[in-house]
Chains A and B, each alone.
Chain A
Amino acid sequence: MIGLQHYLLVSAALFALGLLGVLTRRNAVNVLMGIELILNSANLNLVAFSRYGEGNLSGQLFAVFVIVIAAAEVAVALAIVLTLYRLRRTPNLDAADLLRG
């Protein structure tokens, strides 16, 4: 019988994989993909608690807000990545050291 714990387990796996991507990739676009995985895992948790908890829609409403924030985040982040690429000719994050004294 599939219950709340199984959804939480899938979400934990998504979170850990996203964290791995954020920690180990040098390419900024890959790091953004990892962040999207983390946001998806949070959303999965919210929807699972909405279904198995009290049985109201608050979790799903929160998930809609998370999706909106993710859309805004990825637009601004890609703008920054493109500007960095124009400046340094590389999408790698360790090139972003312009503020180093």
Chain B
Amino acid sequence: MTPSDVVFLVFAAITVGSAAVCVLAHSLIYNAFALLFTFFGVAGLYLLLGADFLAATQLLIYVGGILVLLLFGVMLTHKIYDLDLRSEVTQFGAGLIASSAVFVIVAWTAFRTPWRIGEGRLPAATTADIGREFMGAWLLPFEAASILLLVALIGAAMIVRRKKEA
């Protein structure tokens, strides 16, 4: 095993293990912090795949933005003196069967399909090339995504705003 294989195994174990904690633990705070480690593990896998810009984006947006939003959601939807923050599980058997079946089918497909493996020559640092692609061939989707973000954030603020007492 080469050192990069070992690093892959470590990151894969962190990712899958903390995702399991995130799904299976009963306390919402444990779920949120396990999700943090899952995001870190995925960022490490991105680094191994040569996607340095995406790894930084993953840390900035998922850990810095989405996870903090989810923690706000946890805090705002529970009473603050409600210390154990339990969350209930329903239909665990059926859900386990369904998701295990999905896992088996997807993993079987991944190993049985003869993927076309190319040379896989990526630039050593991807940031400049990604920026050039966004400002060139992908300009329209880029602008559409920024408008989508603006609309979604304004919409979210509108939904949670308290109505004025008329």
Interface on A for B, CB 8 Å cutoff? 1-10, 12-21, 23-30, 32-34, 36-37, 40, 43-44, 47-48, 50-55, 57, 60-61, 63-65, 67-76, 78-83, 85, 91-92
Contacts and interface: CB of A to CB of B under 8 A. Distances in A.
B73 to A, nearest CB: 5
A70 B45 contact: no
Contacts of A48: 49
A24 B103 CA distance: 16
B110 to A, nearest CB: 4
Given A20-B99, A29-B70, A47 B130 contact: no
Interface of B: 2, 4-5, 8, 12, 15-16, 19-20, 22-23, 28, 31-32, 35, 38-39, 42, 45-46, 49-51, 53-54, 57-58, 61-62, 65-66, 69-70, 72-74, 76-78, 87-92, 94-96, 98-100, 102-103, 106-107, 110-111, 115-123, 126, 129-130, 133-134, 138, 141, 145, 148-149, 152-153, 155-157, 159-160
A33 B35 contact: yes
B66 A74 contact: yes
Main DSSP-derived SS at the B contact region: helix
B110 A9 contact: yes
A33 B25 CA distance: 12
Contact of A17 (B23, B53, B126, B155): B23
A30 B49 CA distance: 29
Contacts of A17: 16, 19-20, 22-23, 99
Contact of B88 (A15, A75, A78, A92): A92
A50 to B, nearest CB: 7
B96 to A, nearest CB: 6
